[in-house]
Structure 1
Amino acid sequence: MPLPADAQRALDEGIAALPLCINPTQRAQLERYLALLNQWNRVHNLTAIREPREQVIVHLLDCLAVLPELANDARTVVDVGSGAGLPAMVIAIMRTETQVYAVEANKKEDCFYASLCHAAQFAQPAYRGTAH
């Protein structure tokens, strides 16, 4: 399901304001991530933010804003307390050369993450693990 027009505009404007180049595949994967998040969110309450434009701003753009701060040659990123896969999934989408690990203690969110990696068929699925 495509993003509503106002969410598309927010994503376009946010990307333009960041020092990033996002290719069409990455853009589609980010949108697919939000679609899957919303699908799961209806049943499992992964995030309180339910309006697509706000999800773009709070979830995607906040995570994208971290990327310029990561070393370009970073080989590994570990996201402890990854929750709904943020920022791990966004980093995995944008930095395919970096191995991304998502660690989450909550079983519901860990299951979402496993489903997300499988359903989205990302080029480099981030690894997941459970913290106790």
Structure 2
Amino acid sequence: MSLALPYLQMGLQQMQIELSAEQQQKLLDYVALLLKWNSTYNLTALRQEDQMLSHHVLDSLTLLPYLDGVAQLIDVGSGGGMPGIPTAICRPDIQITLLDSNSKKTSFLSQAVIELGLSNVKVITGRVEAVEGIEFDAITSRAFAELRDFVTLTSQLLRVDGRWLAMKGVHPYEEIAQLPEDVHVAQVDKLTVPSLEAERHMVIIQKGASA
């Protein structure tokens, strides 16, 4: 018997996240897809189910408390679908776009969306600069670029009153100092991910100079 479900449930309990049995199963199915396709598409350096659950699924779910009022979200440089796919499973009410320039990875993402039945997810293959004609309430990324590049390259995609939700490791003091003057950091929160020793921070950035 797989220990994945109790491992996931313990992590969700520690993070105070309540999900239905169907949502929990979809998160496990997503990890199974990562394991299945990883050797072909090079989606993650991790190879163990428990590591994928902590480093990818639970880590992605630290985004959930920051999605109040968000109807449209884009995950830039989504790679293997983190944080976009776990978020989409937990928040079917949010329309989520997964963007990546690597066609192998977006092939996996498209397949995962079909197999997991995620009707709230759209996959785009291409560079972020080429995306036009749509604005989002929030833009997130887990490993796309330094903050300055992240903000500059995606600025045209963010609503005036929207926010960037940058998922970072250690506190990015230097990156924050190099941000353009027409944006400001609203807050930086230290995050705790069960079974993950590494530091994690959420950097929330908004348009407009700081008051």
State the TM-score, normalized to the length of structure 1: 0.89
Report if the CA contact (8 A) 1:74-1:98 is conserved: yes
Indicate yes or no: 2:27 matched with 1:25. no
Whole-angstrom CA distance in 1 between matches of 2:39 and 2:120: 24
Q: Partner of 1:80 in structure 2?
A: 76
Deviation at 1:78, TM superposition (A): 0.4
Encode CA deviations 1:15-45: one digit per residue, 9 max, x unaligned: 0011321111100110111111111113222
Q: Which amino acid aligns with 1:48?
A: A
Gaps of 5+ in 1: none
1:1-132 alignment, distance < 5 Å: 4-5=2-3, 7-71=4-68, 73-122=69-118, 124-132=119-127
Whole-angstrom CA distance in 2 between matches of 1:97 and 1:119: 19
Report if the CA contact (8 A) 1:85-1:102 is conserved: yes
Deviation at 1:125, TM superposition (A): 4.2
Report if the CA contact (8 A) 1:30-1:60 is conserved: yes
Q: Highest CA radius of gyration, 1 or 2?
A: 2
Whole-angstrom CA distance in 2 between matches of 1:117 and 1:33: 9
Whole-angstrom CA distance in 1 between matches of 2:22 and 2:56: 19
Q: Which amino acid aligns with 1:46?
A: L
Q: Which amino acid aligns with 1:20?
A: I
Gaps of 5+ in 2: 128-211
Report if the CA contact (8 A) 1:117-1:125 is conserved: no
Q: Which amino acid aligns with 1:117?
A: V
Report if the CA contact (8 A) 1:92-1:98 is conserved: yes
CA RMSD of aligned residues (A): 1.4
Q: Flag the structure with higher strand content.
A: 2
Whole-angstrom CA distance in 2 between matches of 1:51 and 1:75: 33
Report if the CA contact (8 A) 1:38-1:50 is conserved: yes
Q: Flag the structure with higher helix content.
A: 1
Whole-angstrom CA distance in 1 between matches of 2:116 and 2:11: 23
Deviation at 1:131, TM superposition (A): 2.5
Report if the CA contact (8 A) 2:94-2:120 is conserved: no
Highest RCO, 1 vs 2 (Cα 8 Å, sep ≥ 6): 1
Whole-angstrom CA distance in 2 between matches of 1:26 and 1:12: 11
